[in-house]
Every structure is written in C-alpha cells, then in structure tokens.
Structure 1
Amino acid sequence: MALRGPPEERSLAELREFGVVNLDKPAGPSAHQVAGWIRDALGVEKAAHAGTLDPKVTGCLPALTGTATRLAQVFLEGEKEYVAVLELHGPAPTDVENVVAEFEGEIYQKPPRKSAVSRRLRTRRIHALDLLEVRDRQALLRIRCESGTYVRKLCHDVGLALGTGAHMGHLRRTATDPFDDTDLRSMHDLVDAIEFAEGGDEEPFRETLRPAEDALVHLPRVTIAPSAAREVANGAQVYAPGVIDSEGDPDEEPLVACYTPDGAAVCLGRLVGDPDADAGRAVALERVLV
C-alpha cells in the first residue's frame, strides 16, 4: 500500500484531499455553510470545520478537506482564544478589572438550552481573562479558555458578578490551537488561489490550503517505520518495535500523532506503552489517516 509523501512535495490534488485552511469566517453564514462552500470550491467529496462558530461570530475557523476531516477531534484537545465585547447593563463599577480576574481558573458551566450537548453542569478552565479596555457601558475582554467553553454564558456570569448584568456583544475567535489570526485566509483568498492555480501559479494555492499535518503540530509526535505505517493502514496497532522516536508521557496517555520519517501523518492515537520496549503496544489507535 502506498503512503503519502513528504507534505511539502505533494501535488495540488493531494493537498485538496488532505488539507487544512485557516479560514477567517465572516459574520452571517454558519460554520456548516462555510464548510460546504469550501467543499464545493475545491471540488472535494467532503470538508469539515474545526469547532463550531455561531453565524454572527467571526474569526479563526480551520477547515479540513477530504481525508483530513478525520482529524477534527484534535481541536477538542487544544485551547481557544476570543476577543469579546461585554455589553454592561449599567455603568462599569470601579473594581471591574478585579472582578473579571476572579473568573480565571476552573469555572462551572451548564450548556445553554439550544446546545447540541447534554445540559449537565460541567467544569471548564479559563486560562487567561484580560480586560483590554472599558468605555462607557462596554468592556473589551480577551479570553483564553479550554475547548467547549461557552463565552456567551461566561459574559452573563461576569455581568452578574459585577452587579450590573451583562451580555455578550460582538465575538471574534482569534485562535484555536494550533492556529491563530496571524495567517488567516478568507473565502475570497481561497477562490482566487484556485483561479491562480488553474492559470499555472501554484504558490497562492499552497499558501492558502496547507498540508493537514499543520493541524497536528501541537500534539506529541511519534515517528514510526514505513513498514509499521503500512501495517497501520491495514488495521494493525502501533507496536513498540516499529517506533523510531516518540514524545509524550505514556502514564498520561496523551493524544499523539504518528508520522513516517519523511513527515507524513499516518494515524492518531493514545500513547499507552513504552515506545522503547522490545514488544507490546505503544499507541492505541483512534484514527487511521491513510
């Protein structure tokens, strides 16, 4: 069975079938609609967004194409960053910065009624909550949080703590690990890149639609032999003798990405055994990517 070659040497057709674009989602369409536009523009069988954004929300929405849609779970492991306008229902109190800072750390949240998940009380971690600016009855917040945090609910709770009440105004996602807003591409950029590629200029296309391995750089890396990769493609587990190099602590069973020596992604899994052992399973497979 043939394996993918080095990411930077792939043809445009191969990129379409295993690619990721760090899309700047506009206000208006749903994340699902945007994924459909990307699928149709590239002429691939499927495309998937990584982390839902409401229609009014803008910003960082990585989109996966072709076989890369199997990678969607990696965005459940990382952190998200947002910039939100907190619309206060009264004048901002003098201690607004101190009150906002109290929400850093672990908080309790119950998903809203319209959520697709079960409405059970759960915890989410707010890694950083910075007050950037206060003007009249508006406060600008930067939020770095665990995936699955409901920012609208967070804004409501901050308003209650301030004693004024508040709701979320404009919201923009500025990062979803491992992507951020430093290299966003719009739908217009993608369509233009496709037209340039059809005219013989591949560079804009390659800058816009990246190898899907770019979505895995924040995960611990396990390098396996090509012979082991072919076995994985046929349904086998990753056993210690096939591991060339590895990162991560098996005791923590982290989600890892397995690669061939030339950098092509093979599978996702959990590091469960000692990769330096003479025998035994090293990685428990979760997603085969070839």
Structure 2
Amino acid sequence: MSKPRKPKGRPISGWLILDKPVDFGSTEAVGKIKWLFNAQKAGHAGTLDPLASGMLPIALGDATKTVPYVMDGRKIYEFAVTWGEERSTDDLEGEVTQSSDIRPSEDDIRALLPNYTGVISQVPPQFSAIKIAGERAYDLARDGETVEIPSREVEVHRLNLLKVEDNSAFFEVECGKGTYVRSLARDMGRDLGCYGHISDLRRTFVAPFAEEMMVPLADLVALEEIEDRDERLEKLDAFLVDTGEALAALPSIRISDDQAHRLRMGNPIILRGRDAPVAEPDAVAFAGGKLVAIGEIGAGEFKPRRVFG
C-alpha cells in the first residue's frame, strides 16, 4: 500500500488582505500569493473582476475553512458610472449595446438613489459567474449566447453619490452578499434614460477586515529580491492576519487546553456557568487566544463542526 502524498508547501494559516491591482484576476492573485508564501492551500473570499481594484481577502491553510463567513460579510465599493453607453459586460471591457445623448442632472441622480437602497431585485450581468444549466454565464456569453438570468434579491445598505464630473457620477455603496455593482450601474442608467456602465471600481471593505489592513501586491513582490528564503518568508508572514479575525462577528467562548483537545478530537464540550451561552447556531471557541473550533451551542454543549490545529 502506497503512502499518502505529503502536501506541498508550508502548513501556515492566516489571512492576507491583498490590495489587488487592476488587470489582475482574482484566481491569478490567489496563485501568486500561494506561491509567494509557499502555502499548502489558498482561496479567496469574493471575486474581484480584473478591471476592479481593492480588497481581496486571501485565506491560507486552515484559514480557508473560514472563507464562507467572510463571503457573507458586508462589502463597500467606490465606483464611477459613465453615462451615455450601455455595454455587453456592464463595464469598460464590453462592446457598446445601447447609446444615448441624454445626460442626467445631479438632482435626477439623487432622486433615484432611494430606489436602490434596501432589499432590491437585481439581474446579474450576462458576463458573471452565475451558473445557468450547469454552465457559467460568462462562458455562454463569450460563445455569443444570450441567456435569461433570473432576478434575485440583494441588500444595499446605503448608496451615496460622491460627486458628478463631466459624463460620469461617482458613488460609494455598502451592500450584502451577491450584489453586482455592474448591475447597479446598468439599471440606474436605464432608469435615468441615458444608459450607463462601470468605468472604475474599487472595493475598500470586506467585513470584518478594515481598509488599512490592505497590502499592495507590489510590496509583496518586492520581497522576492531577498535571497535568504527564511528571511523572505518571515517578512511575508508578518503581513498575515490571524485566522480567528475572520470570525470576529460570531459569538465566542474561552476554553481550557483540555477542552481544546476534546474539540480537536471532534467531541463536544459541556459549558458551565451563569454566563454560558444558551443557544447559538454559529459560535467559535478560543484557547489561549488561538482559534480552536467553529460550531454550535445548544443544550449546554458546544459541538464542533470545523476544528483548527
């Protein structure tokens, strides 16, 4: 019987909050970070289009187990909409499909914003990762097919007009999971009767990670010049955010080392004391400041679903 393959790379765990540059795909970014850190595993929490810049949280090692919780978090984008043209991709990359000489006034734009706040119905772009009959919408669109993508409800917490310049308007939006900013631009243009598309897009926040935590890709690539491998990796690791930071919004409990051992073996632990949580569908357990498990609390027990070394 052959021995199981030893995973390639280092068993490091943590989050790298990348400031992704324009013209760099999210998958390409993950591959670059995984290679730079020599990590065994890597994944990102929320795709950014190549034409978009900004926050792309990348999980390394065990931190990949926390990706779904970051994916569900609120996001903030700053974006520009250029009026007068609707495009096939709803951004600068696509072909012009509709055009208009009409240009909206600032008052017209501001009057429209309440229609795009709260829970709204939105049709994702034709060029999106939505699956239609098992195929990605962008693959079908690239093959020249026009597909019917069903609308879905998304939540926009706030949408602010920042300024109006020439043929463009600049906005900031705070929104929930699954919101397409490109669709916002397209739909606002249609409602204003002038058409529109995204001409600039930057993500500045993905809960719970703050904007000041972002690390420019150039800063990481510059460290490749360090010939000493250990020194290079040590400097790279200094940019990592602790895995548990991704779960800051969840209820947490502090446990002993003995309890941590039980959880890592897949066993529940009994919670005692007046202040012990009664019931939580999602909670986290820490021992000595380190993340031990994600699980649920009920009937006086913490039951682990995912454990961390």
> 1:100-119, aligned counterparts within 5 Å?
100-113=113-126, 114-117=128-131, 119=149
Match of 2:263 among 220, 232, 238: 232
1:21-45 deviation line (CA, Å, top 9, x unaligned): 1100011121111111111111111
- The 8 Å contact of residues 295 and 302 in structure 2, kept in 1 or not, is answered as no
- The alpha-carbon deviation at position 62 of structure 1 amounts to 1.0
Structure 2 portions without partners, runs of 5+ = 1-8, 85-101, 133-148
- SS in structure 1 of the partner of residue 213 of structure 2: coil
**Could you tell me which residue of structure 2 aligns to residue 281 of structure 1?**
301
Out of 262-271 and 58-67, give the one that drifted further. Answer: 262-271
Q: 2:122 corresponds to which letter in structure 1?
A: Q
**Could you tell me which residue of structure 2 aligns to residue 63 of structure 1?**
58
Say yes or no: does 1:258 pair with 2:288: no
Q: Go from structure 1 to structure 2 and tell me whether the alpha carbon gap of 1:139 and 1:18 turns closer, same or farther (over 3 Å shift).
A: same
Count of matched residue positions in the alignment of Structure 1 and Structure 2:
265
1:165-191 deviation line (CA, Å, top 9, x unaligned): 211221110100011322311223224
- SS in structure 2 of the partner of residue 208 of structure 1: coil
**Could you tell me which residue of structure 2 aligns to residue 128 of structure 1?**
158
Q: Select the structure of larger CA radius of gyration.
A: 2
In 2, Cα distance between equivalents of 1:191 and 1:234: 39
Match of 1:98 among 98, 103, 111: 111
**Could you tell me which residue of structure 2 aligns to residue 276 of structure 1?**
none
**Could you tell me which residue of structure 2 aligns to residue 74 of structure 1?**
69
> 1:168-183, aligned counterparts within 5 Å?
168-183=198-213
In 1, Cα distance between equivalents of 2:116 and 2:189: 11
In 1, Cα distance between equivalents of 2:223 and 2:249: 27
After TM superposition, the score normalised by the length of structure 2 is: 0.76
Out of 110-119 and 77-86, give the one that drifted further. Answer: 110-119
Say yes or no: does 1:146 pair with 2:158: no
- The 8 Å contact of residues 286 and 292 in structure 2, kept in 1 or not, is answered as yes
- The alpha-carbon deviation at position 146 of structure 1 amounts to 0.3
After TM superposition, the score normalised by the length of structure 1 is: 0.80
- The 8 Å contact of residues 178 and 218 in structure 1, kept in 2 or not, is answered as yes
Q: 2:130 corresponds to which letter in structure 1?
A: A
1:51-79 deviation line (CA, Å, top 9, x unaligned): 11111111001111112111111112210
- Aligned-pair Cα RMSD in Å: 2.8
Match of 1:222 among 245, 253, 274: 253
Q: Go from structure 1 to structure 2 and tell me whether the alpha carbon gap of 1:160 and 1:189 turns closer, same or farther (over 3 Å shift).
A: same
Q: 2:111 corresponds to which letter in structure 1?
A: N
**Could you tell me which residue of structure 2 aligns to residue 5 of structure 1?**
none
In 1, Cα distance between equivalents of 2:178 and 2:269: 30
**Could you tell me which residue of structure 2 aligns to residue 19 of structure 1?**
14
Q: Go from structure 1 to structure 2 and tell me whether the alpha carbon gap of 1:74 and 1:101 turns closer, same or farther (over 3 Å shift).
A: same
Identity of aligned residues (%): 30
Say yes or no: does 1:166 pair with 2:193: no
- The alpha-carbon deviation at position 135 of structure 1 amounts to 1.1
Say yes or no: does 1:45 pair with 2:40: yes
